[in-house]
Amino acid sequence: MSGQWLPIVIVLAALGAGLMAGIFYAFSRCVMQALGGLSRAEGMTAMKAMNVTILNPLFFVIFFGALAACAVLAVYCLFAWGAPGSGWLLAGSTLYIVGGFLVTVIFNVPMNNALAASEVGTAAGEELWADYLRRWTAWNHVRTAASAAALVCFLLALI
């Protein structure tokens, strides 16, 4: 691998993808299951609060930092295709950019916005919550798997 900067960027991408995989996993396996066990009004209220709380500087640094590292690695691969590990780097970058970032932007964020605009305790709100719980969690599983797979790819690139 060329350049002293490259291993640092790979480690940052791996760390970011791994941390995001952990956050997404915790939501899929713990948070969403717990919310599903609450009444619809309680679940909606709790999720609305979490959607506000998670938007904090540390989350943004991890989420967008991993994205930036992946973008740098993807561009590197375009110019250094065939270099040792470049296939793993491109695979990991693509997995995170598409499966971690774009899935969030295209699916999870719009669902979060719809939930934020909904009224707790109304028939429409309860209907939205039932669909939200199922669909949001399914797309979150995609984010979890893609981010974890990206981490594995980055680690394999370092070997």
Give 79's contacts (C-beta < 8 A, 6+ positions apart): none
How many Å apart are CA 96 and CA 98, to the nearest integer?
A: 6
Q: How many domains does the chain have?
A: 1
Burial of 1 (0-12, 13-18, 19+ CB in 10 A): middle
Token digits for 157? 């690139």
Give 70's contacts (C-beta < 8 A, 6+ positions apart): 13, 16, 17, 92, 93, 96, 97, 150
What is each CA distance from 45 to 33, 52, 55, 137, 153, in whole angstroms? 15, 11, 16, 17, 37
Give the pLDDT band of residue 54 (cuts 50, 70, 90).
very high
52 and 141 Cβ atoms separated by less than 8 Å: no
Mean pLDDT confidence for 20-26? 98
156 and 1 Cβ atoms separated by less than 8 Å: no
- The parent domain of residue 145 ranges over 5-158
77 and 48 Cβ atoms separated by less than 8 Å: no
pLDDT by residue (tens digit) across 57-85?
999 999 999 999 999 999 999 999 999 99
pLDDT of residue 147: 98
pLDDT by residue (tens digit) across 98-108?
999 999 999 99
Q: What is the pTM (predicted TM-score) of this model?
A: 0.94
